[in-house]
Amino acid sequence: MARKSSSATTEDELEARVSDAAVRLRGFDESPLDARMLDLDDEAESPFLRGQKRVPVRRGALPRKAASRIKIALILILVLGSVALIWITLHQYAARSWRFRIDSSDNIQVSGNSNVSRSQVMEVMASDLNRNVFFVPLELRKNQLEQIPWVQTAAVQRLLPDRLNIVVKERTPVAFVEVNSHIELIDAHGVIMDLPAGQQAKYSFPVVVGMMDSEPVSTRAARMKIYVQLMKELDAGGAHYSRDLSDVDLSDPDDVKATVTDPNGAVLVHLGSSNFLERFKIYVAHVQEWRAQFQKLESVDLRFDHQVIVNPDSAGGNPKSAAAPGSVENAKSAPAPGSLESTTNAPAPPATVQSKSAVKHKTKKHS
C-alpha cells in the first residue's frame, strides 16, 4: 500500500508540474518582456560566455590631418582668388574710366612758385593732358621740373579722381653774377638763374665775377662756398661790411678780391683765402691814412702777415710796400722794387671797377 500511494503521489506531482509549465508558457507567449527576462536569466545562469560581435567602422580615404590641411588650403585659394578678382576689376575700371582723365591744364595745381612761371611748369606737364591720372610718371616729371634753373626741389602728387598737385621750392639767390657780359643771379650751390621777368623782389647783392656758364656746376659750387664764407665773416657781429662790396672776384680761390665802394673811389682789396674779417678790418682802419699818403689808392694787398702792399695792380709803376698795417708812415721809406718816387709821382690810370650804382643800372637795363 505504501508503494502504491508513493507512485500515485509522483504521478500527481508530475501532472501538476506539467500544468504549471503550460500556464507559464502561455504567460510567456502573452508577455514578450517576460520571455526576454527569462532569456537573460538563462544567459546569466549559463556557465559559458559567448564572444561579443564587433561592429564594423567605415574609415575615410585620407587621414584626418591631411583632410584638414587640404580644407584650409582650399579656403586660402578661394580667398586669394576673390581678392585677385576684385583687384583686376578695380584696375580695369581705373585704367579705362573717363573719371580719371586729366581734361585740361585747370586740373593741374601749382604752388610755391613766385619766380617760376606757370607756363614753365606747363611746358613740362603738357604731355600729361588728356592722360589717365594713374599713368602720369610722377618721378620723371619731378626730375624734369627740377631741371628748371629756379626750381630747387619739386613734388608731384595725384589728387583723385582727375587732378595733379605740384609743389615747388625755389632757389634762393645770394649774389649777382656776370656771365657773358650779362648780369644774372646765382645761388649758394653755383646754379645760375635768369633775372625773373617782372620781378617784385628787389635784390641787393655784390656781383660775382670770374665765372663762366660753361664751367661745371661743381666748380661754381666750390667757389660759391668761398663767397658764402666771405659774406658770413664780413657780417659777423652785426658789422655788415658786405654792404660796402660792389663785386667779388672768385677767379682765383687762393686770392679772393673784393671791390669796396668809397666816396673817394673804389678800391680793390686782396683778401686771400681765409681770415677775411680780420684783414678787412685792417683795410677799414687804415684806408684814410693810405689815401692821405698816396696820390691815388687803387688796390691793397692784405694777404701777407705784417705787410701791406698798396696799389699792387697798378699799371703805371711798381707797388708800394709797408712793413705793417700800423706803420703806414714808414711805407714811403721802406725799400720796394723799382723806383718808389716815380711810382708815387706817376699818375695812376683809372681802375676798372664797378660800383653798386653801376650794377643796379646794368641790372635794370638787362631786365
pLDDT digits (tens, 9 = 90+) for 194-247: 998 776 678 899 999 999 888 999 999 999 999 999 999 999 989 899 999 999
pLDDT digits (tens, 9 = 90+) for 110-135: 999 999 999 999 999 999 999 999 99
Name the DSSP class of 307: -
Q: Where in the chain is the domain with CATH 3.10.20.310?
A: 100-170
What is the rounded distance in angstroms from the CA atom of residue 42 to the CA atom of residue 64?
Answer: 45
What is the rounded distance in angstroms from the CA atom of residue 129 to the CA atom of residue 270?
Answer: 56
Q: Where in the chain is the domain with CATH 3.40.50.11690?
A: 174-366
What is the rounded distance in angstroms from the CA atom of residue 182 to the CA atom of residue 184?
Answer: 6
pLDDT grade for 2, boundaries at 50, 70 and 90 = very low
As its CATH architecture, domain 174-366 has 3-Layer(aba) Sandwich (3.40)
pLDDT of 29 above 90: no
Would you state the pLDDT for residue 213?
85
The fold adopted by the segment(s) 100-170 is Ubiquitin-like (UB roll) (3.10.20)
What is the rounded distance in angstroms from the CA atom of residue 132 to the CA atom of residue 113?
Answer: 25
Q: In what order do the strands lie in the sheet with 108-111?
A: 108-111, 163-170, 151-159
